[in-house]
Structure 1
């Protein structure tokens, strides 16, 4: 399995307090932060030789005691902690949506499969995961997949190449919340790992994201501090072809 390096871990400073609803027993392994009433960031960590300990964001959306997870934690042990935390709250995990094929998105995916929890990803991600000999998401889609909890929709859509050829956006209209993954950079971040990137198209892809989801107010990047539309604007500027 490849180990991809992105950003030097910077301590996370959120405008909100740690969630009182989801509490980790070991925040050095897995941390939870509430960003909206029904939406949480989960943060797991990847130990790397070059960059040290890297914090990796995922997201959790909960409605009517059911949840979708966006990106698995970085390893199966940490995924088991996440699963157990939700089980203890009587929350059923309906599925996991994988943003792209790197191991900070699906490193802990096998733990979900062992519990019978479905995983979703673009067909591009499934193809690349197979080539990379990592755990492969189960259910693929071409351009767009809409999942639901009750009447609440979750839109998962491929909008172009950026950090990778397969990266997607997940957007929850009722929350105005987006999980951007590694194609979206926190403000002041560097470009990160570019080994599978399309730098020429990156800015255009983010413009497409802005156009497709103009109501996004709460945006979670793959690494670093969540924010608003300024993350998209910063990312466009960072990768703008001069």
Structure 2
């Protein structure tokens, strides 16, 4: 039987590929912005903000580019840093236009730089509840609202925005990039060994159930990006489920 050696080879390939992705060189744009390449099309953007309860915090977002169109999942933490990200994209990919920005939930570390993206001509998408909560909290309101799920065209590919339940906030979503098998989980997903973090707007009773739904639906994900900390694989979802199991 030759099936077992093939399966082993594929598993080893996936492990080595993920390891190589995680070890790619970090690109430092400024003191407050870093870029981590995942593939030729996908990049984590890491911006920094200081919060009274947590100090200086690194906040993750995702950039995906296809056929000279780009989508950003979560803005950097303010307009100035968002302008730095947009300038880097324009320099690195001069023929690419940032057409879309997806907001994971209503907190500042998701939409603090939204004005900069609107000024650059990007359309912004968020759940209807995120738009409501942003307005109630005096934040910039995303332009296009959806209820449970929305697909956004980026070139000839799609990204999928999906609400699967309450966790870090009432409105948190995930965004799936099928071509890359990358899932942007945002703050509902914890990096391995992370603490529970900010629970001010959380539903801790439902958190594990929600992540269980995410794991079941997006089990083909090979890279999962949390709102803070290092990216990984499905082990991030397993760790988050364990962390919030009551």
TM-score of the superposed pair, with normalisation by structure 2: 0.88
Aligned positions, number: 224
- Aligned twin of 1:29: 32
Q: Distance in 1 between matches of 2:64 and 2:106?
A: 21
The alignment status of 1:229 with 2:245, answered yes or no, reads: no
1:94-131 Cα offsets, whole Å, 9 max, x none, are 11000000000001111111222110000010010010
Structure 1 residue ranges, 4+ long, deviating more than 6 angstroms after superposition? none
Could you tell which deviates more after superposition, 193-202 or 142-151?
142-151
The alignment status of 1:113 with 2:118, answered yes or no, reads: yes
Secondary structure of the 2:236 match is helix
Q: Distance in 2 between matches of 1:162 and 1:16?
A: 30
1:41-93 Cα offsets, whole Å, 9 max, x none, are 00000112332210000000011222100000000000001111111221210
Which structure features the higher share of helix residues?
2
- Aligned twin of 1:204: 209
Q: Which one of the candidate residues 34, 40, 56 is aligned to 1:53?
A: 56
**Larger Rg computed on CA atoms:** 2
What are the equivalent positions in structure 2 for 1:84-103 lying under 5 Å apart?
Answer: 84-88=87-91, 89-90=93-94, 91-103=96-108
Indicate the RMSD between aligned Cα atoms, in angstroms.
1.2
What are the equivalent positions in structure 2 for 1:60-79 lying under 5 Å apart?
Answer: 60-79=63-82
| Residues 16 and 34, structure 1, Cα contact 8 Å, conserved in 2 | no
| Residues 153 and 159, structure 2, Cα contact 8 Å, conserved in 1 | yes
The alignment status of 1:154 with 2:168, answered yes or no, reads: no
Q: Distance in 1 between matches of 2:194 and 2:176?
A: 22
The alignment status of 1:136 with 2:146, answered yes or no, reads: no
Question: What residue ranges of structure 2 are gaps of 5+ in the alignment?
Answer: 1-20
Q: Distance in 1 between matches of 2:189 and 2:214?
A: 10
| Residues 38 and 44, structure 2, Cα contact 8 Å, conserved in 1 | yes
Q: Which one of the candidate residues 187, 191, 200 is aligned to 2:192?
A: 187
Secondary structure of the 1:36 match is coil
Pick 1 or 2: higher relative contact order, CA cutoff 8 A, min separation 6: 1
